[in-house]
Structure 1
Amino acid sequence: MATGNTAEDAHLLATKWYSAGKLAELAKTRGLIYKKGKFSAIEEQQLHTAVENYRIAKQLNEDQLNETIFPKDEKSKDNAFWSEITAAIPQRPIISVYHHVRRTYHPFKQQGKWSTEEDDKLREAVANMGQQWEKISLIVGRRASDCRDRYRNHVVGRETRVVGPWTVEEEQQLQRIVENMTINRGGTLDDEVFWSTVAREMGGRRNRQQCRNKWTDVLSKQVKSNGQNPRWSNQDAYILVHKLDSLRVRDDSEVDWKTLADKDWNLWSPHILQRRWQTMKKSVKGYEEMTHQEIMEILKAKKTNFDPNPTTGIRKKKSKVKSSETIEG
């Protein structure tokens, strides 16, 4: 894991409400190290402990704690509270902790499947208010982030959206769009793209989630393999186990799966790598009672031998994915 922040950097992360852009700038200009992405199980416990310690120290009841986490307005925000609990989570920016804690403690959390009535209410709220998700949250009775994701992934474009298997033509169109946004602009197929834009260029027939999943989990590895359909090999398992071991994390929830690929080993999406790890982990008898490091030691011993050629297990079947030249021709 990355280390190296000074005490000044730690203070900055716990007190300055910097945007994602500003944090990225500081990472480049002064070498600031900070964490992004999903909070690990250990971080979740650290946060819970920090919030509870604050509540006890200030002698707050549950209602008062909720008022601290969800103030009436910006002027009522308790910066000291947010700085104190952020300081308990190394390398997490205060803005990240703020949003995570508000999601975790939100009264609308875990409400289950959306109803047709809620979707209609959400659609009407967006039509009247635009994408002001915090305000829409109060109208719909769901968390702001849930409203946003529901609208983007399920409500908008529902009338034209297609479900079920993708056609060859759809796959070819998706490949062209992604290549235009990456390779044709001097990048690589692994560059991040705006999936909302991709979905729009697909004519709204597939939503952003469908496009992202289809590309990262299926098409990307086929395109990189010249239209073949690579299979997960013993060497892939060996590489994954040893890459994870080199991270020296305390728990697999601390892994940033997007960082594991390199220029020589990049067929598998972060989602597939995580899924493959879970499969290997669960193959260890009694894994539920083991630490992450104990599981790693067993898997390293099991994965000492591997195929001489990485990811050469190609299914002998005709691929639906063609090269760009063939598609354009």
Structure 2
Amino acid sequence: MLANVWMSTSKLAELVKTEGLVYKKGKFSATEEAQLNAAIERYRVTKGLSMEDLDQVIFSNKAGKDKGHESFWSEITSALQLRPIIAVYHHVRRARHPYAGKGTWTKTEDDLLIQSVRDLGQSWEKISDIVQRTAADCRDRYRNHLQDREVRRIGMWSKEEEEELTRIVTEMTVDQGKDIDNDIFWGVVSQRMGGKRGRQQCRIKWTDSLAPQLKNTGERPRWSAMDAYILVHKVDSMNVRDDTEIDWKLLPDENWNIWSAHSLQRRWLTMKRSIKGFEEMSHAEIMEILKTKKAQSPPPSSSGRKKKSKYLSAEAVNDVDDMEMQPQAGPSGGPGSLTAG
């Protein structure tokens, strides 16, 4: 159904609740990119299309209605698992757009974008043709960097700003029984802060700084050797072929949830890049090296400092302060589990 039925995001969300539909969201992995490109090339060769002909099929104004190529989007979507056809449609059109990948924005482009928004409102497709950047690039550049720039602040956050952001997010999530990590509309948060901080600034400040502190009983948490150990075994438990396939939001559990998905991804990249020659290694090879490095969970601290939070150990690590068994390197038994040798 996902490869053949065109459904909006709201319709997909409705089916998740009513029918238990399962589908994949988020960034396309390197494996998916390869599968998708192979499917597109296979279609092109089978149909005897030139690259120019292929572009006409991809950028036809009516999705799935191009005469003679009605099956194109269904066929290439079928090459992937759990991706809705509408997501593949938007992804391919973004990735292959002639305006894609143009690099750093210039002041001239910024000025033209601002003027275009004044003239046309947020009609990103129309603005795209004027600025000669993709619609998504225009939208993100405007919302994250240019909107409200007269009052936008940069640099360190003041204590008052941090308290304001915490209050706003708490009102939008905790007070309404929602998830403080995921159920947040950052554009709305930025508006409620009077545009003083952009949506991207608010998101990063919250996920990487304020939310971890809130979960850690008000104290700023520090990344520990135990955190690194848990992260390596969590990633191993995902059983992926490439780390671009990891949904970082799935790694935390109820006992280890201080760190945001963004923080975990950055920590993983730091560990991976610490390996000499990692660029030429497969994910499996990198995984084996990191598992060897983190083969044993670190002993409890003997510094006498009190334990700050219940979130310092993984779900299957019991009685950290009295740990006698040292888990050995090897495949994890599943999300949140660590195998003992």
C-alpha change, 1:283 and 1:120, in structure 2 (3 Å) is closer
2:45 corresponding residue in structure 1: 56
1:305 CA displacement = 2.3
Q: Aligned equivalents of 2:28 and 2:178: distance in 1?
A: 29
Contact 1:42 1:251 in 2 (8 A): yes
**Cα shift readout 1:21-55 (whole Å, capped 9, x = no counterpart):** 22222233333321110000011111111111111
Matches within 5 A, 1:246-325: 246-308=237-299
Give the Cα separation in 1 of the matches to 2:32 and 2:179. 33
Match in the other structure for 2:331: none
Q: Which has the higher contact order (CA 8 A, sep 6+)?
A: 1
Match of 1:93 among 84, 89, 105: 84
Aligned counterpart in structure 1 of residue 213 of structure 2, from 219, 222, 227: 222
1:15 aligns with 2:7: no
TM-score norm. by structure 1 comes to: 0.86
Match of 1:134 in 2: 125
Q: CA deviation at 1:73?
A: 4.5
CA drift at 1:171: 0.8
User: What is the CA deviation profile of residues 125-170 of structure 1, one whole-angstrom value per residue up to 9, with x for unaligned ones?
Assistant: 2222222211211121110100110111112101110111111111
Distance 1:309 1:264, change over 3 A: farther
- 1:264-287 Cα offsets, whole Å, 9 max, x none, are 111111111011111112223333
TM-score (norm 2): 0.83
Q: Distance in 2 between matches of 1:213 and 1:13?
A: 32
Residues 1:263 and 1:309: Cα distance change in structure 2 (over 3 Å): farther
In structure 2, the partner of 1:25 is 14
How is 1:234-253 mapped onto 2 (pairs within 5 angstroms)? 234-253=225-244
Contact 1:231–1:313 at 8 Å: present in 2 too?
no
CA contact (8 A) 2:181 2:260 kept: no
Could you tell me how far apart the structure 2 residues matched to 1:67 and 1:293 are? 39
Aligned-partner residue type, residue 121 of structure 2: G
Shift of 1:306: 2.7
Partner of 1:169: 160
Measured against aligned partners, the alpha-carbon deviations of 1:191-223 in whole angstroms (never above 9, x if no partner) come to: 421111111111111100001111111111112
**In the alignment, what sits opposite 1:69?**
58
2:132 corresponds to 1:147 = no
- Matched residue type, 2:147: V
Structure 2, unpaired ranges of 5+: 306-341
Superposed CA RMSD: 2.1
Q: Of 11, 30, 34, which residue of structure 1 is paired with 2:23?
A: 34
Partner-residue secondary structure (3-state), 1:118: helix
Deviation track 1:42-92 (CA, whole Å, cap 9, x = no partner) reads: 111111111111111111111111111111455537431111110111111
Hey, which bits of structure 1, 4+ residues long, moved more than 6 A? none
Unaligned runs of 5+ residues in structure 1 are 1-11, 315-329
Q: Is the 8 A contact 1:233 1:313 kept in 2?
A: no
Please state whether the residue corresponding to 2:3 is helix, strand or coil: helix
Structure 1 residues 313 and 242, CA gap change in structure 2 (3 angstroms): farther
Distance 1:288 1:196 in 2: 36
Of the three residues 19, 23, 34, the one matched with 1:45 is 34
Equivalent position amino acid for 1:286 in 2: G
Cα distance, 1:96 vs. partner?
A: 0.7
Render the CA deviation track for 1:282-313: whole Å, top value 9, x for unaligned: 22333333221222222222213234559x99
Determine the C-alpha separation between the residues in 1 that align with 2:76 and 2:109. Answer: 34
Give secondary structure in 2 for the equivalent of 1:147: helix
State the percentage of identical aligned residues: 58
| Other structure's SS at 1:231 match | coil
Q: Secondary structure at 2:141's aligned position in 1?
A: helix
Question: How many residues end up aligned between the 2 structures?
Answer: 303
More displaced stretch, 284-293 vs 98-107: 284-293
2:322 corresponds to: none
